[in-house]
Amino acid sequence: MTRKESSLDAPVSSVGDTHALAAARIAFGALLLFQAWETASEQMREGFFGDHFHDPFIPERFVASERVFAAILCAQAVAGVLVLIGHFARPALAYSACAITYAMLCDRLHFHHNRWALASYVAILSFSPCDRSWALGARRHAANTGPLWAVWLARVQVSIVYLASGTSKLLDRDWRSGQVLYDRFVRYGGAALGRGVPERVVAMFQQESTGSFLAKGAIAIELSLAFALQTRRFRIPAIFVGLCFHAMIELTARVELFSFTTFAAYLLFATPDYRARTLRFDPTQSKSITLAYVVRALDWLARFDVAAWKPDAVAKSRSFVVTDRDGEHHTGFRAILALMRALPITFPIWAVLVPFVRGPARD
Distance between terminal CA atoms of the chain? 17
pLDDT at 53: 85
Q: Which of 26-35, 117-126, 161-170, 246-255 has the lowest mean pLDDT?
A: 246-255
Asked if residues 101 and 117 have their Cβ atoms less than 8 Å apart, the reply is no
Query: What is the percent of the chain where pLDDT is above 90?
Result: 54
Listed in sequence order, the residues at least 6 apart from 67 whose beta carbon sits closer than 8 Å to its beta carbon are none
Rg of the chain over CA atoms, in angstroms? 23
Which pLDDT tens digit goes with each residue over 251-278? 777 777 889 999 999 999 998 888 899 9
Residue 7's pLDDT band, with cuts at 50, 70 and 90, is very low
Judged on CB neighbours under 10 Å (0-12, 13-18, 19+), 156 is middle
Asked if residues 50 and 69 have their Cβ atoms less than 8 Å apart, the reply is yes
Judged on CB neighbours under 10 Å (0-12, 13-18, 19+), 69 is buried
How large is the average pLDDT for residues 288-316?
A: 83
> What is the phi/psi pair of residue 197, to 5°?
-70, 130
Which whole-number Å values give the CA distances from 218 to 88, 183, 221, 330, in the listed order?
Answer: 39, 16, 5, 38
Domain chopping of the chain, boundaries? 3-147, 162-269, 277-356
Q: Domain 277-356 is classified in which CATH homologous superfamily?
A: Glutaredoxin (3.40.30.10)
pLDDT at 166: 94
Asked if residues 320 and 291 have their Cβ atoms less than 8 Å apart, the reply is yes
Length of the chain, in residues: 363
Query: What is the percent of the chain where pLDDT is above 70?
Result: 90
Which whole-number Å values give the CA distances from 68 to 2, 75, 76, 290, in the listed order?
Answer: 50, 11, 12, 51
CB atoms < 10 A from the CB of 11, how many? 14
| Interatomic CA distance for residues 238 and 217, integer angstroms | 14
Phi-psi region of 235 (alpha: psi -120 to 50; beta: other; left: phi over 0): alpha
Residue 93's pLDDT band, with cuts at 50, 70 and 90, is very high
| Interatomic CA distance for residues 288 and 308, integer angstroms | 9
* DSSP result, 32-96: HHHHHHHHHHHHHHH--GGGS----SS-GGGSPPHHHHHHHHHHHHHHHHHHHHTSSHHHHHHHH
CA 165 from chain centre, in angstroms, equals 17
How large is the average pLDDT for residues 294-298?
A: 94
pTM of the model: 0.87
Instruction: Enumerate helices (H) and strands (E) in the chain, giving the number of each.
Output: 16, 6
Exposure string for 222-244, b = 16+ CB within 10 A, e = fewer: bbbbbebbbeeeebbebbbbbbe
CA 39 from chain centre, in angstroms, equals 21
- Please report, as a single letter, which amino acid is at residue 146: G
pLDDT at 361: 42
Q: Identify the DSSP state of 207.
A: S
CA 220 from chain centre, in angstroms, equals 21
